A and B are shown apart, each in its own frame.
Chain A
């Protein structure tokens, strides 16, 4: 058995490099050599063993179903022969690692490969690796933390082998997809891997500061496999000699790094020299360990060493418009709520989709995927449904917070193992079967119990946050102080971070903001770390920034000054300036505001009109005629696309106000017809489609946006299910026009009367006709005309 406490453990050097020296052709797959020339592969492993490697990486780096497609061999065959070729060199004295590299296709949201598909592909490799006798699994040269997560879950759920992960960073401390060292450490420690590391891209000198950061960020053993310096861009030759490499590597001992080897450009000679330079005494027995609470997305970590704001707006409770958006799967609305909170300065976003009769286990992971496509902020998964929590945590990229468990035995039993499995942090509410205790001491006792149970479940203390529960001052005035007292007890005696939903305090009282603000200040002074608030409330955010400054945590008041230097009291508005009228006085005309693309003024004008007119009148007699005028200007060439889009965005703001009002009053939404819109399978260009969507929406059409890279079946299904009369398709590549044609044929077969509007840069009117589309639309205004024709007929 491999003992990671033994230091140092020597890994091997480059396989590709050594193979290229043996005459491997450019672009040829080295993976097949395990089958076609296993002796060569074994001989390279042998050279590394002789040079002093304890572990060799089998020749399986690219052995997955994507990279091997069309090669004539199965993944199983390639993995099996590679592991056996390594074993032939190692015998039972040395260790064979199943080497798992990137799949070669980028995962959603950046690429088109689904997380679940990646998981499947990795599972196939892991299963065979174990069956063929690998001693451990190394997932390496990764740049996308999401892909790493798919691979780690596949390894953990299909094998019993130790799992090591190393990612590839650039000098700025980030991978190509934006993962930082701290995000990697927090996520992988949570997922329960045995060691984390850094390999490839840079030489030992450049990796050193990153390895230092990694050692400080995790308790796990750390390993490094640098390149032999940096390559010459023209020849590809690496810059460091074996001796230079060894010298640079010897310094890693001081950091407490446990496993060392080489990547591109390194050969057995490098490993031999390194081993000579790397004496055991140089490895510290203990490296500094990490006790900070960190949560993260795939790209951004939030360290809970300051007041950390959790934005509460993605929650349907008491919000009819959000409720409706969740029922309609109107992701744009949900995402717009996220974007507002991000812009307002939230650090974490709470995600709650709980409404009666909704399949939370289906919807919550979908919303999580949508959110992580547009935000870097970590998420808080807010649900009491264990299936929904698990489904959401599984597809979450990073380390999330789960909100929540409480002191009830059956809740703890059910949810804590899920939190542990996916390496999340968890919020514990101080209530149990008997409700919320009134006394602080009793709430403290529940907190203690939750901590004890979480620790027993393997969740580190730093990842347990306690919510002492805000009660309404109007109903339970005496207990406000008990909550504050409980917060301070949990913070001081248990040393745990604390969470509170703040605004509940003022329910049923006048002038709620005043109470909320005051309570927030008191709670923070008592040790509240993670307030759950509406970050769009600038008074609350201001309070937090002032608090941080007064506690000397915002050094030199830098953050405070950056945020408030140009704000005058009384008009606490800040952030991105809306396009507003110059005067700001009088009644702005809707026509003027919309034409000039002034969103705030347009919304204001719509609100004014709604005092005297009903919603449909505002849409038909004001918004649409104004848009028509802009559209005509665009046709004539007096208004250009950016101005038209500004007008459309302003109209969108006005329209949103109308939708909100209709939702709140329970009236039917405006709809001049439902239109399905999508970018076809294989294509991910969606800006054109989104422009069309916004403009058609402004004309009152209900747009069902299926997104990009949409499979044919999904479009057929939606058309049938919602009895759709019109579908809009977009494709931007000559290679994806085929999907457009396939979609039209399939839909027309299932729903012969359904019409199609199509558009995209490479499309022509002739081609559109040829593939069976009813309307070729060169721009968004043409789509509106076509839709009018379809629905007015």
Chain B
């Protein structure tokens, strides 16, 4: 289904991804505004979700099991900014690498905002209690799970989202996630750094933070 674009891209998140501490100076701000316009114009956000039994998919790893503990069903979702953004990012890298970098990071923030929106819709339609989103590649849920989720959602047909042999989603700016559903309040479970595949390289961790407390 088609999803609405937000009016703005979250500037705080965007600067964070660019590695900029504090505020953007005037020049950067001006470029980010141009990039924001381009992104919002080009993005064609689409999303799809389905409610499944917990055993409908093989989800490996201990963290996802904990995440779904106490849940009766799960919602599986996928969202993408579409192929136009990929094309725009390719051309931008020829035109001006600085802008390409800013656009790329902006697109990453935008897809998260789109996911928030889809999650909101799921919550509204589910009329039950849900955990947060949990995605393949996070904690010890293998990135290889990506393909399984997309097949279950028929995502290629429904929103044009596919995965290649290396488990990279195409279009690039896309997200899949699993949310637990229960008839009582559930918080889900965020993987600890010890379980996380990215523990050695995580920037947050180097700064002594964790995404669980983000």
A residues neighboring B (CB under 8 Å): 26-27, 102, 104-106, 109-113, 141, 143, 168, 170-172, 175-178, 200-201, 233-234, 236, 299, 332, 335-336, 338-339, 342-343, 373-376, 579, 596-597, 599, 637, 640-643, 645-646, 648-649, 652, 682-687, 690-691, 694, 733-736, 761-764, 766-767
Contact A766 B159 (CB under 8 A): no
State which of A27, A200, A336 has its C-beta within 8 Å of the C-beta of B152: A27
Known: A143-B160, A643-B28, A687-B101. A763 touches B201 (CB 8 A): yes
Question: Contact: B87 with A178, CB < 8 Å?
Answer: yes
Determine if B19 is an interface residue (Cβ-Cβ < 8 Å): yes
B97 adjacent to A234 (CB under 8 Å):
no
* A174 nearest CB across to chain B (Å): 8
Task: Verify A176–B159 contact, CB threshold 8 A.
Answer: yes
What are the residues of chain B within 8 A of A649 when measuring CB–CB? 96-98
Please give the distance in Å from A545's CB to the nearest CB on chain B.
23
Contacts of B20 in A (CB 8 A): 640-642
Further pairs besides A233-B125, A764-B200: 11, Cβ < 8 Å? A26-B52, A112-B164, A112-B166, A233-B1, A599-B96, A640-B19, A642-B18, A642-B101, A684-B168, A735-B166, A762-B201
CB-defined contacts of B91 to chain A, threshold 8 Å: 339, 342, 374-375
With A176-B160, A641-B101 as contacts: A735 and B200 at CB distance below 8 Å: no
Question: Are A736 and B125 in contact (CB-based, < 8 A)?
Answer: no
Query: Which residues 21-78 of B have a CB within 8 angstroms of A?
Result: 21, 27-28, 31, 44, 46, 48-52, 56
Check B162–A104 contact: CB distance below 8 A: yes
**Chain B proximity of A332: nearest CB distance (Å):** 7
**Contact residue among B46, B51, B52, B162 (Cβ-Cβ distance under 8 Å from A111):** B162
**B40 shortest CB reach to chain A, Å:** 15
Using known A-B contacts A640-B18, A762-B201, determine if residue A110 contacts B166 with beta carbons closer than 8 Å: no
A607, chain B: closest CB distance, angstroms: 20
**What are 12 A-B contacts with C-beta separation under 8 Å?**
A27-B152, A106-B164, A112-B165, A141-B157, A233-B125, A645-B101, A682-B164, A682-B168, A685-B168, A691-B101, A735-B166, A767-B200
Taking CB atoms, residues of chain B closer than 8 Å to A233 are 1, 48-50, 125
Q: Is the pair A642, B98 in contact by a Cβ cutoff of 8 Å?
A: yes
Asked if residues B18 and A733 are in contact (CB atoms below 8 Å), the reply is no
Residues A691 and B83 in contact, CB atoms below 8 Å apart: no
Which B residues touch A648, using CB under 8 A?
A: 97-98
Q: How far is the CB of B122 from chain A (nearest CB, A)?
A: 9
Within B104-145, the residues touching A (CB, 8 Å) are: 104, 125, 137, 143-144
A694 to B95, CA, bound (A): 12
- Identify the closest chain B residue to A645 (Cβ): B98
Q: How far is the CB of A402 from chain B (nearest CB, A)?
A: 25
Distance, CA A694 to CA B99, complexed state (A)? 13
Given known A579-B27, A687-B100, contact A641–B201 (CB-CB < 8 A):
no
Q: For chain B residues 150-167, which have a beta carbon within 8 Å of chain A?
A: 151-152, 156-157, 159-160, 162, 164-167
- In contact, A374 and B90 (Cβ under 8 angstroms): yes
The residue from A111, A168, A338, A766 contacting B170, defined by CB atoms under 8 A apart = A111
Ranked 10 nearest A-B pairs via Cβ: A176-B160, A682-B166, A645-B98, A646-B98, A374-B91, A764-B200, A640-B20, A335-B94, A649-B98, A177-B83
Q: Which of A104, A112, A373, A735 contacts B90 (CB 8 A)?
A: A373
- Known contacts: A26-B152, A109-B90. The answer to whether A684 contacts B164 by CB under 8 A is yes
B211 at the binding interface (Cβ < 8 Å): no
> Is B83 in contact with A178, judged by CB distance below 8 angstroms?
yes
User: In the complex, what distance in Å separates the CA atom of A637 from the CA atom of B97?
Assistant: 20
Closest B residue to A105 by beta carbon equals B164
Give the docked Cα–Cα distance between A90 and B161 (Å): 36
A736 to B168 CA separation, bound complex (whole angstroms): 10
- Smallest CB gap from A334: residue in B: B94
Of A106, A342, A579, A685, the most chain B CB neighbours within 10 A belong to A106
Q: Which residues of B contact A767 (CB under 8 A)?
A: 200
The verdict on A27 contacting B94 (CB below 8 Å), with A233-B48, A735-B167 known, is: no
* Residues on the A chain within 8 Å of B165, using CB: 105, 112, 682
- Contact A110 to B97, CB < 8 A, known contacts A26-B152, A735-B166: no
Residue pair A690, B100 in contact (C-beta under 8 Å): yes
Give the residues in chain A near B159, CB-CB below 8 Å.
176
Most chain-B CB neighbours within 10 Å: which of A335, A373, A646, A694?
A646
Contact assessment for B56 and A26 in the assembled complex, using a CB-CB cutoff below 8 Å = yes
Q: Chain B's nearest CB lies how many Å from the CB of A6?
A: 31
- Inter-subunit contact A733/B166 (CB<8 Å): yes
**Min distance, Cβ B31 to any Cβ of chain A, angstroms:** 8
- Would A684 and B97 count as touching, CB distance under 8 A? no
Closest residue of chain A to B83, judged by CB? A177
- Which residues does chain A contribute within 8 Å of B94, judged by CB atoms? 332, 335-336, 338-339, 374
Minimum CB–CB distance for A378 against chain B, Å: 15
Known: A105-B164, A176-B159, A683-B168. A339 touches B95 (CB 8 A): yes
A106–B162 CB distance below 8 A: yes
Which residues of A lie under 8 Å from residue B204 when comparing CB positions? none
Q: B187: CB under 8 A from chain A?
A: no
Q: Which residue of A lies closest to B167 (CB)?
A: A735
Q: Determine whether the beta carbon of A176 is less than 8 Å from that of B83.
A: yes
Contact residues in B for A342 (Cβ distance below 8 Å): 91
Once bound together, how far apart are the Cα atoms of A608 and B162, in whole Å? 51
Q: Is the CB of A735 within 8 A of B162?
A: no
Specify which of B19, B84, B97 is in contact with A690 (CB 8 Å cutoff): B97
The CA of A112 and the CA of B165, in the complex, are separated in Å by: 9
Q: How far is the CB of B47 from chain A (nearest CB, A)?
A: 9
Docked Cα-Cα span, A168 to B159, in Å, equals 11
Nearest-CB distance from A734 to chain B (Å)? 6
CB of B195 within 8 A of chain A?
no
Residues on A with beta carbons closer than 8 Å to the beta carbon of B52? 26
Query: How far is A175 from B84 in the complex, measured between Cα atoms in Å?
Result: 11
Is the Cβ of A27 less than 8 Å from the Cβ of B151? yes
B177 at the interface (CB under 8 A from A): no
Which of B2, B93, B201 is in CB contact (< 8 Å) with A687?
B93
Chain B residues near A762 (CB-CB < 8 A): 197-198, 201
Residues from chain B with a CB closer than 8 A to the CB of A646 are 27, 31, 98
Min CB–CB distance B198 → chain A (angstroms): 7
- For the complex formed, measure the closest distance between the CB of B186 and the CB atoms of chain A, giving whole angstroms: 19
- Given contacts A374-B90, A648-B98, are A105 and B162 in contact (CB under 8 A)? yes
Residues in A whose Cβ lies below 8 Å from that of B101:
641-642, 645, 687, 691
Give the residues in chain A near B100, CB-CB below 8 Å. 687, 690
Instruction: Find chain A residues with CB under 8 A from B144 CB.
Output: 735
Give Cα A102–Cα B162 distance, bound, in whole angstroms: 11
